[in-house]
Amino acid sequence: MDKLYIDGPAKLNGSVRVSRAKNAYLPIIAGVLLNPRKTTLINLPELRDIITINKLLSNLGVEIKTEGHKTIYDTSKFEGHEATYDLVKTMRASILVLGPLLARFKKAKVSLPGGCAIGARPIDIHLENLKKMGAKIELESGYVYATTEGLKGAKCVLPFPSVGATENLMMAAVGAEGTTIIENAALEPEIEDLGNFLIKMGAQIEGLNSSTITIKGRPLSELNEIEHEAIGDRIEALTYMMAALITDSEIEITGFVPSHLDAVIETLKKMNAQLEVTSDGIKVLHSKLEGITVETAPYPGFPTDGQAQLMALCTKVLGTSVITEKIFENRFMHVPELIRLGAKIELKGNTAIITGVEKLEQAPIMCTDLRASAALILAALASEGKTEIQRVYHLDRGYEKIDNKLRSLGVSISRINE
Ligand code: EPZ
């Protein structure tokens, strides 16, 4: 398993361009299954999660060819309908093939995702609403067995604005007969990007960027061959913003839509961060930060995917900060690792109380999940000495070439393959 070593405290300078968004491309790649014609995706990030979902699609008989920065998918020789446990267990987002498989092939066998480090993460909202659309769902020995005579449009009212459930239902609805209405749909920018991708294909979708999305189904044989490039990765962007702030550096982050981070920008400004929004990103300037109280929420609230990174930042902000995690039940796995570096954090249920310290000291630390890994990188940048970070495969799921990007910003970082 790879390890990273970071010499701290680091100073960053220059600019970094974020990759295309993992959480936009994962549902989009699942959506490729809807289309009998070719799909070309541009600038897919080189991430473990992208490799995993591409492996899942090729196991289903999809032909995938890469030509430079283009990846071409051909589903005309499709032959399978099973997403096996060995792939799904490594990535919950595999469940996103369920809707497209049902719409295109009227059957699907997808392994239940199983728990993951940040919580149980059930799929009841996906399944309940696919049933409303005419799917017969059985759960047996860890698999979801789904069949349908043909999906029908339905009114789906989500009890929680689940990102994955919204995406699964949107894709199922494209191939359903009649109109589907999704109420209390998630509002994350990646949903809008998926919607734009589906509309390019020929889907009839209204209400993107609102909590009521209406999709008029049509025969999938009518869909067109398309090309698409996803939005920039806003979570990668906020990670580099906080890397600049925790090292009191001035850098520019480009390649994403700044308004996709409004809640994050507002929170950081409340901490007295000096930020300059540009047309293609954001500039971080020297800042004297103050403590903050914040809780995570569905978009447009403060994103749960930025919670660990904000906590790392707060460990070095003198004063007290209070962070409450409201989306996942176990997303504080980074806390004990940050404490090993000398951070002062007290946990009370789903709330963390952080008291800023003058100094963090290097110590061997271990990644536990994707965003916790990002938090450890941030803390290592601000720690005295050479910090060893273990199990970085978690990090490689969602941060493309992070060592190169940090090195290009002036960080002394090395990776040892063990
Ligand atoms: C997406 O996960 C993201 N993943 C997550 O990012 C992100 O943290 C999450 O949305 C919230 O923003 C991708 O887009 C691939 P949810 P998803 O369905 O779709 C509960 C990262 O770091 N729930 O909105 O799984 C669930 O247990 C990853 O890039 C149900 O109870 O998120 C959780 O507590 C981590 N039943 C909450 O809703 C369901 O049927 C949010 O889940 C579905 C969800």
Q: How far is the CA of 325 from the centre of ligand 1 (A)?
A: 13
Question: Does the beta carbon of 165 sit less than 6 angstroms from any atom of ligand 1?
Answer: yes
Give the bridge partners for 351, in sequence order: 324, 348
Counting from 1 in the atom list of ligand 1, the atom nearest the Cα of 398 is 29
The answer to whether 15 touches 253, Cβ cutoff 8 Å, is yes
Counting from 1 in the atom list of ligand 1, the atom nearest the Cα of 329 is 34
This prediction has a pTM of: 0.97
- Residue whose Cα lies nearest atom 38 of ligand 1: it is 162
Question: Does the beta carbon of 328 sit less than 6 angstroms from any atom of ligand 1?
Answer: yes
- Residue whose Cα lies nearest atom 27 of ligand 1: it is 121
The answer to whether 341 touches 362, Cβ cutoff 8 Å, is yes
Q: Which of 110, 123, 160 to mutate to test the pocket of ligand 1 (most atoms within 8 A of CB)?
A: 160
Give the bridge partners for 205, in sequence order: 215
The whole-angstrom separation of Cα 129 and Cα 115 is 21
Model pLDDT, residue 112: 84
DSSP 230: P
pLDDT truncated to tens, each residue of the chain (418 aa)? 899 999 999 999 999 999 999 999 999 999 999 999 999 999 999 999 999 999 999 999 999 999 999 999 999 988 777 777 777 777 889 899 999 999 999 999 998 876 666 766 789 999 999 999 999 999 888 889 999 999 999 999 999 999 999 999 999 999 999 999 999 999 999 999 999 999 999 999 999 999 999 999 999 999 999 999 999 999 999 999 999 999 999 999 999 999 999 999 999 999 999 999 999 999 999 999 999 999 999 999 999 999 999 999 999 999 999 999 999 988 999 999 999 999 999 999 999 999 999 999 999 999 999 999 999 999 999 999 999 999 999 999 999 999 999 999 999 999 998 7
The answer to whether 301 touches 339, Cβ cutoff 8 Å, is no
Quick: pLDDT tens for 63-88: 999 999 999 999 998 877 777 777 77
Model pLDDT, residue 116: 63
Nearest CA-CA partner of 354 in 385, 391, 394, 325: 325
Q: How far is the CA of 164 from the centre of ligand 1 (A)?
A: 6
- Residue whose Cα lies nearest atom 10 of ligand 1: it is 163
Question: Does the beta carbon of 92 sit less than 6 angstroms from any atom of ligand 1?
Answer: yes
The answer to whether 374 touches 399, Cβ cutoff 8 Å, is yes
Placement of tokens 């910003």 in the chain: 409
Nearest CA-CA partner of 277 in 294, 262, 296, 293: 262
- Residue whose Cα lies nearest atom 31 of ligand 1: it is 122
Counting from 1 in the atom list of ligand 1, the atom nearest the Cα of 93 is 15
Provide φ and ψ at 331, rounded to 5°. -115, 40
Quick: pLDDT tens for 109-165: 998 876 666 766 789 999 999 999 999 999 888 889 999 999 999 999 999 999 999
Segment holding 392, helix H or strand E? none
Tokens of 25: 């491309």
Q: How far is the CA of 397 from the centre of ligand 1 (A)?
A: 16
Nearest CA-CA partner of 405 in 374, 372, 370, 365: 374
Question: Does the beta carbon of 126 sit less than 6 angstroms from any atom of ligand 1?
Answer: yes
- Residue whose Cα lies nearest atom 21 of ligand 1: it is 305
| Helices and strands of the chain, counted as H and E runs | 13, 25
The whole-angstrom separation of Cα 94 and Cα 52 is 8
How many Cα atoms are found within 13 Å in the side-chain-facing hemisphere of 33? Answer: 36
Tell me, yes or no, if 116 is annotated catalytic: yes
- Residue whose Cα lies nearest atom 14 of ligand 1: it is 23
Q: What angle do CA 50, 397, 247 make, to 5 degrees?
A: 135
Q: Which of 96, 162, 167, 373 to mutate to test the pocket of ligand 1 (most atoms within 8 A of CB)?
A: 162
Q: How far is the CA of 307 from the centre of ligand 1 (A)?
A: 14
Q: Which of 139, 305, 332 to mutate to test the pocket of ligand 1 (most atoms within 8 A of CB)?
A: 305
Segment holding 376, helix H or strand E? helix 370-381
SS3 331: coil
Question: Does the beta carbon of 294 sit less than 6 angstroms from any atom of ligand 1?
Answer: no
Distances (CA, A) of 297 to 124, 283, 293, 383: 20, 25, 13, 30
